Amino acid sequence: MATEPAQKRKRLCETTTKKICPMIAKNRENTQFATLFDELVTIEVSPEKKLFQIHKGLICHHSEYFRGAFKGGFKESESKLVTLKEEVDHLAFQAFYQWLYTGKIRDDEDEISWEASRDCQFLFNTYIFGDAHGIPDFQNTIVDRMYTSFMDKSAIPVTYIKNLYEHTTKGDNLRRFLVDIFQSMSQCEAVEFFSPSDQDHYPQEFLFELSKALLEDDPGRERPWTMKDWGKLDTCRYHNHKDINAAVTAAPGAEG
């Protein structure tokens, strides 16, 4: 399959069976499902002005942003309508909507690949949407999909790193994932990703975090992985383990 030059790839590892995240399992077990499917609310996604009707209990359960909007005493509590900012990608919200009801971010989820520019943009925009709207379980799903794509194709989407850093904050899990990928490269592997034509793809903050990670790496300590055994990695390392049930209980108006 042909890819754009910046979507460089190398067979670096073998796939492995993925375990379910303990916090995701806990969130599912402790969820009071009877409260999720109550009255319907409407989300308007601009600039297309596309309308989505969603159960209020369901969207408030998963999203801190929508919990505040619909249960925080704002006008949206009465109107039952939230209009998202124009910069919100409607495909990202469509993925969230589908995930809420099916657990999948797209019908062809298993075919999503970091090798395809369209899919890369979709995954990063969707992750950024989840981050901006406080949806940790949704973000974890995106991270797992990215990890699976990396394992299957060994493609590293350097063209989207700058966009990620522009829309997330220090300590973000996907940032750490990308830094760890580069940190675990050998010198020969890294050369492919740092040619003169690539220099505009890496924001200063990413390069600083990578340099710091490399300097702090103790040569005498056994590293948890190398580029040849990424399949042993537990993706929980890059999950947001926030207890969403506790967050729902503590939210203003959560009992209403």
What CATH number is associated with residue 182? Answer: 3.30.710.10
* Among the ranges given (75-84, 100-109, 234-243), the one the predictor scored with the smallest mean pLDDT: 234-243
Cα 141 to Cα 239: distance, rounded to the nearest angstrom: 9
Whether 60 is in a domain gets the answer yes
d(CA 97, CA 91): 10
pLDDT (mean) for 177-194: 84
- Quote the number of domains for the chain: 1
Let me know if residue 256 belongs to a domain: no
pLDDT, residue 234, reads: 77
Out of 25-29, 33-37, 159-163, least confident range: 25-29
In a domain, 1, yes or no: no
Say if CB 240 and CB 172 are below 8 A apart: no
Residues in the chain: 256
One-letter identity of residue 196: P
CA–CA gap between residue 252 and residue 254 (Å, rounded): 5
Record the pTM.
0.83
One-letter identity of residue 180: D
The per-residue pLDDT for 39 is 92
In a domain, 147, yes or no: yes
Q: What local confidence, expressed as pLDDT, does residue 252 receive? A: 42
Does 255 map to a domain? no
Q: Residue 153: which domain range?
A: 7-250
CB 166 within 8 A of CB 128: no
Whether residue 234 is contained in a domain is answered as: yes
Compute CA 179 distance to the chain's CA centroid, rounded to the nearest angstrom: 15
Task: Tell which wins on pLDDT, 245 or 255.
Answer: 245
pLDDT of the residue at 16: 39
Residue 27 pLDDT: 64
Q: Which residue has the higher pLDDT, 171 or 115?
A: 171
- Given this model, what pLDDT does residue 31 score? 64
Task: Write out pLDDT tens, residues 133-151.
Answer: 999 999 999 999 998 888 7
pLDDT at residue 223 is higher than 60 = no
pLDDT of residue 254: 42
